[in-house]
Amino acid sequence: MPMPPPKPTTEGHRDRGIAHEERQIVKALRANGPQSSDDLGTLVGAAYWEKNRFERALAFAVADGFVHRTPEGLLATS
């Protein structure tokens, strides 16, 4: 009997690098406290990442519950 197809997901394809990038984001927030998106990008060196990688990794970090927005609109670890 064949295996059933995988369940559909709205998450999209996740490569191995995303987990590493998520950890970099969380580490930077833990070390430096809440940050704006621009300041966080500077802390992790996002200018040297592939195009849109920082935004994608940040979106996954928020979706996974590692990062949240404060009432002031800053990013912080959960």
> Looking at residue 70, which CATH number applies to its domain?
1.10.10.10
Return the pLDDT at 49. Answer: 93
Q: State the greatest distance between any 2 C-alpha atoms of the chain, in Å, as a whole number.
A: 55
Rg, Å, the chain Cα set: 15
Q: Quick one: how far is CA 59 from the chain centroid? A: 5
Inside any domain, residue 69: yes
11 neighbors 63 (Cβ within 8 angstroms): yes
Distances (CA, A) of 78 to 26, 43, 68, 69: 9, 18, 6, 9
Q: Which residues contact 73 (CB under 8 A, 6 or more apart)?
A: 36
Residues of the chain with pLDDT under 50: 10-11
Inside any domain, residue 2: no
Range of the domain at 55: 16-77
Return the pLDDT at 16. Answer: 76
Number of domains the chain contains:
1
